[in-house]
Amino acid sequence: MKARELMEALLGWSEEKIPNTVDTCKAGDPEREVKKVGTCFIATPEVIQNAAAWGADLLITHEPTYYEHHDNLAGRESDPIIQAKKRLIEQSGMTIWRFHDHLHGRLPDGIIEGELNKLGWQGDYDGRFYFTLAQKQTPRQIMAQLQEKWGISHIRMVGAADTPISKISLLIGCPGEQMMMQALTGETELLIGGEVCEWMCGEYARDAAQMGFAKAILICGHAGSERAGMEHVRDLIEKAYPDLACMYFECGEVYE
C-alpha cells in the first residue's frame, strides 16, 4: 500500500470531505510503499528521529510541521530553524502526512474519542464535544484524573473547583475563544480546553464562580489535551490494516 492510498482511506473516515483541507503530504514521496506507520501529535525533531530509527515509512502528524496552519513556507524559507528541520526530515527519508481536519470530522470525533477512552467515564457523549457524567464530580477531582490518565503535569484551573458538576464541554486543542464562550454561556458547567483566552474565558469563569455559579475551566495545553487521540489513531490503523506495523511516538508536553 502506498502512503497516498492509506491516507485517502483514513481521510474517508470523516463524515464529509473537507474543502481546503490541511490534511496533505508535508514531506517525502506520497507514492512511497508503506509497511511501517508512525503516528504522533506533532513531528518534533525528537519524534522524527525516533520514528526514523524505528524504520517508519510514513509519519502521520496531527498538527503542523512548520509552525503555520497550512505549512506554508512563503517568506520563511531562510529561517534557520525551518531549514534545519527540513534537512532532518529529508535525511530521515520518511513521508510525513497531516491528519487533522478529517480526524475531527469523524463521528465520533477521532481525537476526543481517544481522550475519552483513556478516561473511561460513564455517561452520555454526543459524538462531538459534549459529555454528561452519570455521576457528578468536582472539577478538582476531574483535574486529578486528567493528570493521571492523560499524563499532564501542568493543568491550570479556574472557577468553581469544588462544586460537583456533570455537564462538560471537551473543547480540546484550540477551537477559539468564541466557541468556548458559547459553551460557557450555555449549559456547560466545566470546560476542558487546550488553549484558552484568559481575559475572556478565564475571567468569565472566575466571575461566575465568585457569584455562586457552577462554572469552571481546566486548561490542559494544546498537546496535553489531544495527544491521546493520536494513540487512538494508531489503534484504529492496526485494527483496519493488520498487515501494517504501527507505532505511536510521544512528543511530551511543551512547557516545563
Task: Tell me the pLDDT tens digit for each residue of 106-139.
Answer: 999 999 999 999 999 999 999 999 999 999 999 9
Closest CA to 123 of 135, 108, 138, 133: 133
Question: 253 pLDDT band (50/70/90 cuts)?
Answer: very high
Intrachain domains 3-106 and 110-222 with the same fold: yes
Q: Are 104 and 110 in contact (CB under 8 A)?
A: yes
Closest CA to 245 of 96, 30, 56, 5: 56
Cα(62)–Cα(136) distance, integer angstroms: 32
CATH code for residues 110-222: 3.40.1390.30
Phi, psi values for residue 124, rounded to 5°: -110, 130
Across the range 221-235, mean pLDDT stands at 98
pLDDT for res 210: 99
Q: Is the peptide bond before 108 cis (omega within 30 degrees of 0)?
A: yes
Question: Please, what is the average pLDDT of the chain?
Answer: 97
Domain assignments of the chain as residue spans, ordered by start: 3-106, 110-222
Cα(45)–Cα(58) distance, integer angstroms: 15
Question: 25 pLDDT band (50/70/90 cuts)?
Answer: very high
% residues pLDDT > 70 (the chain): 100
Only one residue has cell 512563503, namely: 74
Across the range 210-229, mean pLDDT stands at 98
3-state SS string for 154-222: CCEEEECCCCCEEEEEEECCCCCHHHHHHHHCCCCCEEEECCCCHHHHHHHHHHHHHCCCCCEEEECCH
Residue 145 has pLDDT above 90, yes or no: yes
Across the range 92-107, mean pLDDT stands at 98
Cα(216)–Cα(213) distance, integer angstroms: 9
Cα(189)–Cα(167) distance, integer angstroms: 5
Question: 76 pLDDT band (50/70/90 cuts)?
Answer: very high
Domain spanning 3-106, CATH class: alpha beta
% residues pLDDT > 90 (the chain): 99
Cα(153)–Cα(220) distance, integer angstroms: 9
Taking the CB of residue 57, how many other CB atoms lie within 10 A of it? 23
Question: 256 pLDDT band (50/70/90 cuts)?
Answer: confident
Cα(221)–Cα(193) distance, integer angstroms: 7
pLDDT for res 43: 99
pTM: 0.95
